[in-house]
A and B are shown apart, each in its own frame.
Chain A
């Protein structure tokens, strides 16, 4: 965290209105009908960090994100999002489908929900994701990767302290994903928000996150810090880490037995 602050430089950190929120989740439970999805999950996330959540499909990753964002209400437990010096930290979600409004131009999508005085920020964010020249296009005219970049610009134009990403790259091809990894990493560096990324791709999790969390049976089964230098190379340490996380996901009981 400190290392990263130095990396950003004092200027950016000082002028950035984004605080980077800390998240505290204590014993949350959630069920749908008879299905108990989360069983007393507890998780603390440091302000400004990048955390990835992996796990089998249907293990409750999206549910966790929706609970944190307030789109869903937990049956029990506590969720707190706090940013220093901000009474009400901003949380924004980026969904797997970009969820752009098809009847608004790219620019107006990014400016969605912004005050008229803040619309200039939408233009800046659009430039940051490299789509300034597509501002007047309709979303239907963009490729899948470009749509996700617009969705990312829209989320960041809101200056979130916490950005929740629910498999935002799940539908993209391999090359576009790698491009998007670099973009997300760069934006996280410059803006300093806390990022919580849900993904089914362990490689993606290790490439981006400071910390990888595996959810299983409604709780956290594995919580690994990733200490590789950025930008990350797919070297031996990387592969070893990837292997151990995959083993945990594929053989849920291996740790209990060991």
Chain B
């Protein structure tokens, strides 16, 4: 009988990856129950769940998540939009490349987080500071990958399209932009990762709301369970952003051999 064997191995493939996480959680819970782990170091998993429930019920969780997500998204839109624009311009127009690219490559070497002291001086600790940090962080991955994507579009395809009478906008729409898209999406995924890292640091340093504020506030009261909820929330949001980027790839790169159903 082949079918049951196949179903069994399929079930194994689904279940097996969860073994280790479940084992870790069980060990953790057991250690907490036995008193081996102080709640000052790490709360028991059930306490984290309870804290999450309480925070969700009071609406606090939702409020902080919303604030953080909004910060992340607005930084992404501003920085990513500018990066995309700059990448398109330098990729498509030679004079602009000569004018801008070497400058941007130099500025790229400055880690965005190194700017924090200056940014605090410029914007104080208000929203502007966080927006600026996130935007400047996501700008470069998107800029560089857009620029490279456009530059590395197969010259043979462009030549073919020209000889088939494509000029101007149709050439960009049908050949150059789709050719650059895989690279642009790589930049987007990288930018999304960076976006959360920068936001976490910025919110941890100073904020009156947001997940980082919630976590730092909990630290003052030694609420390790709330701190853990905050950390897990960041992880969840990061995962969601990554899934969204993957979804875009799946949708926009359907033609790509690596996205075709076997």
Contact = CB atoms under 8 A, between A and B. Distances in A.
Interface string A123-165: 0000000000000001111000000000000100010000000
Interface in B214-262: 253-257, 260
Contact of A140 (B160, B163, B257): B257
Contacts of A158: 164-165
A interface secondary structure, majority = loop
B161 A103 contact: no
Contact of B160 (A99, A103, A138): A99
A95 B165 contact: no
A141 B166 contact: no
Contact of B165 (A93, A102, A113, A138): A113
A224 B253 CA distance: 49
B interface secondary structure, majority = helix
A104 interface: yes
Given A71-B163, A92-B164, A112-B164, A99 B256 contact: no
Contacts of A69: 163
A154 to B, nearest CB: 8
Contacts of A97: 156
Given A140-B256, A140-B257, A140-B260, A113 B160 contact: no
B178 A95 contact: no
Given A102-B255, A138-B255, A92 B174 contact: no
Interface of B: 156-157, 159-161, 163-166, 174-175, 178-179, 181, 253-257, 260
8 contacts: A71-B163, A95-B160, A99-B156, A102-B256, A139-B255, A140-B260, A141-B260, A154-B164
- What 6 A-B pairs are tightest by C-beta distance, nearest first? A113-B164, A99-B160, A103-B178, A103-B255, A140-B257, A113-B165
